[in-house]
Amino acid sequence: MRVRPTLSWTPADDLPPGTTDLEPVVEALRAGGVLVLSGAGISTESGIPDYRGEGGSLSRHTPMTYQEFVAEAAARRRYWARSHLGWRTFGRALPNAGHRAVAAFARHGLVSGVITQNVDGLHQAAGSEGVVELHGSLERVICLSCGTVSPRRELAERLEEVNPGFSPVAAGINPDGDADLTDGQVGDFRVVPCAVCGGILKPDVVFFGETVPPQRVELCRGLVRQASSLLVLGSSLTVMSGLRFVRLAAGAGTPVLIVNRDPTRGDRHALTRVELPLGPALTTVAGRLGVTVGDAAA
């Protein structure tokens, strides 16, 4: 039986109210040294749903846990069938105005760094450099036996070869690149082993139930300590992997600003939470700062 990860958070009635006033965000960016922490909400305008917002994927989809993946061959077959199909759509997603605005802010020296909880690579596709991928990336695959890291496109080609004609119609796509398929649609999908040692292959992402590598966490902590302010974009901060950095910033007296349409677990630590759609909001901020948000990376 699949155990649903503990991923929910119920907002308290006494949380600070949201606002539509973007001026605190404008002023923080104008001062420079802003560290961006982004979540799934920044990618929704690229056609990738978030986990917890209206229509979020958790209402219909239980993400794979690390424990289930390593313990059950059937779970790995189900995961790779769904992920292989989802990759075809996920890999075609393009950065939106929110991603492009973050990259533009960095080019103008207003942003000191980007930490993303997303695994979609859209910040980099928009032109952001030095992005810390807190939860890894679907662009890479790692062998759990020998540690070899290889490009996802190579695995996709191998899976196509051993599963010719695999093209069921999915009910939807999820933030982790997983397509919604029934067990019947998964069928007898074939999984391939590591080409080096024959071991088990896993996407180079942090599954639910798995810990973020300590050195990556420490890198992020260093970025938070050096930042003039922390700008959270499109994250509910429900899980500790992102919330800890908000708490670290607030504890050090570093201003925390959040742009998210729904209440977040970090609202008590924030100077403000702007409840506007990210793309239009960040485009407006860029306009006030005289920063041009182009259609592609410069």
Residue ranges of the binding site for Zn(2+): 143, 146, 194, 197
Residues of the binding site: 39-59, 117-120, 143, 146, 194, 197, 234-236, 278
- Token output for 161: 């070869």
Report how far residue 126's alpha carbon sits from residue 99's, in angstroms, rounded to the nearest whole number: 6
3-state helix, strand, coil in the chain (%, to 5): 40, 15, 45
Chain-centroid distance, C-alpha 295: 21
Q: What is the residue type of 231?
A: L
Q: What is the CA radius of gyration of the chain?
A: 19
CB 85 within 8 A of CB 78: no
Q: Choose the catalytic residue: 61, 123, 135, 269.
A: 135
Q: Is 61 among the catalytic positions?
A: no
CB 145 within 8 A of CB 197: yes
DSSP state of 194: -
Nearest CA-CA partner of 39 in 28, 26, 52: 52
SS (H, E, C) 47-64: CCCCCCCCCCHHHCCCCC
Q: What residue spans of 35-162 are helical by DSSP H?
A: 66-71, 73-90, 97-107, 122-125, 152-162
**Residues that are catalytic:** 135
